[in-house]
């Protein structure tokens, strides 16, 4: 199965100059936990999650309306292409421990997003599954694994 068959083609985005309250509103309206951050020409520059917003709001001495997306977004974003196989996306998600991959065109412009939810909808534990259930489960285990805690550094 190709990414374009599994991913959500209509994806809302924000820009780095938006405030966190506006980004949170997009998440609320779209019922999602992450929003790609793009430049004016829709090139991916980051990704902001609901967790990023919560941590920033709780740890900074400013309201979310006064904190810019660009100040808290993750600038390292892993992407995929519409014609990639879903197995390559699963591999990237597993290795990078991410739940979502923006889908980009040849010029690295945002055209969609692929989430674990999208993949779960197509997964099955049978030989001809579009998304192999064992690979999906391995990916989820890798993403959800607890990181070792270092004490007294």
Average pLDDT score over residue span 26-32:
95
Q: Does the residue 31 lie in any domain? A: yes
Whether 149 maps to a domain, the answer reads no
| Residue 153 within any structural domain of the chain | no
Q: Is position 137 within any domain?
A: yes
Q: Tokens for 60, please give them.
A: 């900074």
User: What pLDDT, on a 0 to 100 scale, did the predictor assign at position 147?
Assistant: 80
pLDDT digits (tens, 9 = 90+) for 37-80: 999 999 999 999 999 999 999 999 999 999 999 999 999 999 99
Print the domain residue range for 84.
3-144
User: Domains in the chain: how many in total?
Assistant: 1
Confirm whether 151 is domain-assigned. no
Does residue 150 fall inside a structural domain?
no
At 138, which CATH number? 3.10.580.10
Instruction: Report the alpha-carbon distance of residue 44 to residue 8 in Å, rounded.
Output: 16
Predicted pLDDT of residue 42: 95
pTM: 0.88
86 within domain boundaries: yes
Check residue 148 and give its pLDDT. Answer: 79
pLDDT at 84 over 90: yes
Q: pLDDT class for 114, splitting at 50, 70, 90? A: very high
SS3 38: strand
133 falls within a domain? yes
Q: Is the pLDDT of residue 152 over 90?
A: no
Buried b (16+ CB within 10 A) or exposed e, 111-128: bbbbbbebbeeebeeeee
């Amino acid at each position: 199965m190709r990414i374009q068959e599994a991913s959500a083609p209509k994806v809302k985005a924000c820009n780095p100059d938006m405030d966190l309250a506006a980004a949170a509103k997009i998440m609320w309206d779209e019922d999602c936990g992450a929003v790609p951050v793009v430049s004016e020409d829709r090139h991916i520059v980051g990704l902001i999650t609901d967790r990023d917003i919560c941590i920033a709001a709780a740890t900074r001495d400013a309201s979310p309306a006064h904190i810019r997306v660009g100040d808290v977004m993750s600038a390292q974003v892993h992407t995929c292409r519409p014609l990639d196989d879903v197995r390559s996306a699963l591999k990237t998600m597993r290795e990078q421990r991410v739940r979502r991959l923006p889908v980009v065109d040849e010029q690295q412009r945002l055209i969609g997003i692929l989430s674990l939810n999208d993949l779960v909808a197509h997964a099955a534990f049978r030989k001809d599954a579009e998304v192999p259930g064992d690979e999906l489960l391995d990916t989820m285990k890798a993403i959800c694994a607890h990181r070792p805690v270092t004490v007294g550094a």
